[in-house]
């Protein structure tokens, strides 16, 4: 007796997914610096939070360090997309380092806001995760004026010197829904609170979360390509699980547990903002080998954001291009 036809299984490939403009800029900064100047190029912290990207750049000649005291005096160093505090910039000057600043412009925007609010005498409530590189940099802009919180419950413990002069800022890679809840609680406690002119959560974080929400009712499981230290990737998993749909974060297809697929007829796939597209393609091929032979790409919003190279590289790249023209 035959087993009958194989069950109909499908992959929904979400778009937008993967690299955002800030990640493209940061990775390009390392690659172009290596092309222009050769190795060694030092990079403080992971240039972006993705293991595969970091390993590839390391193989190309980049040297990743945790702190600047690991960089020889006078050497060339790149600051990661997550930004740094003024203290780190001062140390770079003291060590006569040739700095290429690959901080995402959207993170720089938050830093500028922190400085502005501090100068105006506000207590700044920074919504974010304490162990994240981006938060460390933002906190450093106005450490005496800034309080970090990560949940609505923590709002009730805030005791600013002047409740009429409170401002809030956020990490750029947070959950939209969770942040909205925290801000609402802040407004309840501090009706005069002010925030940034435009939200700090970046366009790519928002777009990927909106896509996951749209797919949650269409799939039996979601697989997110991204590293465990990628905040925006972890938020995608949380967003999906909040809809009652199983969701999993993997560095690559090799981390997929086949049991996740046992009861699934439709699996949605997306990628965090620092995950390269070839890892998504490998995952899709793996799913195909497991019987998910139908592929549908669902695009929720077109992204056309581009950032220019860090000015330190822009001029050098243009000069090199004129020489070889």
Q: For residue 136, what is the DSSP state?
A: H
Q: Which residues contact 51 (CB under 8 A, 6 or more apart)?
A: 227, 251
Residue 130 shares a structural domain with residue 183: yes
If you average pLDDT over residues 141-153, what whole number do you get? 98
* pLDDT above 80 (res 322): no
Q: How far apart are CA 237 and CA 247, in angstroms?
A: 5
Residue 60 shares a structural domain with residue 133: no
**Taking all residues of the chain, what is their mean pLDDT, rounded to a whole number?**
95
* pLDDT above 90 (res 177): yes
* pLDDT above 60 (res 4): no
Q: How far apart are CA 157 and CA 152, in angstroms?
A: 10
181 a catalytic residue: no
If you average pLDDT over residues 174-189, what whole number do you get? 97
Q: How far apart are CA 115 and CA 109, in angstroms?
A: 10
pTM of the model: 0.94
Residue-number span of the structural domain to which 56 is assigned: 21-104+306-324
Q: State the pLDDT confidence band at 7, using cuts at 50, 70 and 90.
A: low
The count of domains in the chain is 3
If you average pLDDT over residues 266-282, what whole number do you get? 98
Residue 15 shares a structural domain with residue 26: no
Write down the pLDDT at residue 5.
46
Q: How far apart are CA 312 and CA 325, in angstroms?
A: 21
Residue 120 shares a structural domain with residue 143: yes
Residue 249 shares a structural domain with residue 224: yes
End-to-end CA distance of the chain: 71
Read off the CATH number of the domain in which 129 is found: 3.40.1010.20
If you average pLDDT over residues 36-56, what whole number do you get? 97
Catalytic residue selected from 46, 113, 134, 141: 134
Q: State the pLDDT confidence band at 6, using cuts at 50, 70 and 90.
A: low
Phi, psi of 148 (to 5 degrees): -100, 130
């Amino acid at each position: 007796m035959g087993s009958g036809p194989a069950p109909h299984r499908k992959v929904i490939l979400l778009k937008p997914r993967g690299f955002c403009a800030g990640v493209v800029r940061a990775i390009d900064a390392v690659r172009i610096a290596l092309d222009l100047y050769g190795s060694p190029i030092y990079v403080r912290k992971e240039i972006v939070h993705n293991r595969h990207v970091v390993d590839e750049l390391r193989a190309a000649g980049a040297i990743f360090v945790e702190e600047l005291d690991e960089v020889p005096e006078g050497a060339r160093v790149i600051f990661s997309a997550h930004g740094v505090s003024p203290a780190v910039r001062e140390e770079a000057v003291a060590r006569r380092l040739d700095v290429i600043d690959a901080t995402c412009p959207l993170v720089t925007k938050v830093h500028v806001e922190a400085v502005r609010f501090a100068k105006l005498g506000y207590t700044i409530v920074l919504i974010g995760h304490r162990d994240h590189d981006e938060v460390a940099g933002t906190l450093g802009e106005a450490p005496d004026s800034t309080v970090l919180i990560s949940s609505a419950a923590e709002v009730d413990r805030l005791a600013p010197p002047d409740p009429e002069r409170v401002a809030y800022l956020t990490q750029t890679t947070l959950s939209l829904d969770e942040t909205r809840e925290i801000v609402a609680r802040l407004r309840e406690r501090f009706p005069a609170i002010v925030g940034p002119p435009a939200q700090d959560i970046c366009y790519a974080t928002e777009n990927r979360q909106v896509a996951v929400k749209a797919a949650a009712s269409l799939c039996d499981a979601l697989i997110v390509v991204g590293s465990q230290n990628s905040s925006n990737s972890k938020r995608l998993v949380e967003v999906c699980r909040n809809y009652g749909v199983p969701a999993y974060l993997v560095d690559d297809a090799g981390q997929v547990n086949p049991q996740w697929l046992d009861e699934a007829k439709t699996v949605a796939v997306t990628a965090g903002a620092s995950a390269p597209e070839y890892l998504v393609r490998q995952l899709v091929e793996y799913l195909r080998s497991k019987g998910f032979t139908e592929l549908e790409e669902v695009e929720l919003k077109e992204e056309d954001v581009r950032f220019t190279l860090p000015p330190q590289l822009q001029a050098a790249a243009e000069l090199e291009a004129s020489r070889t023209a």
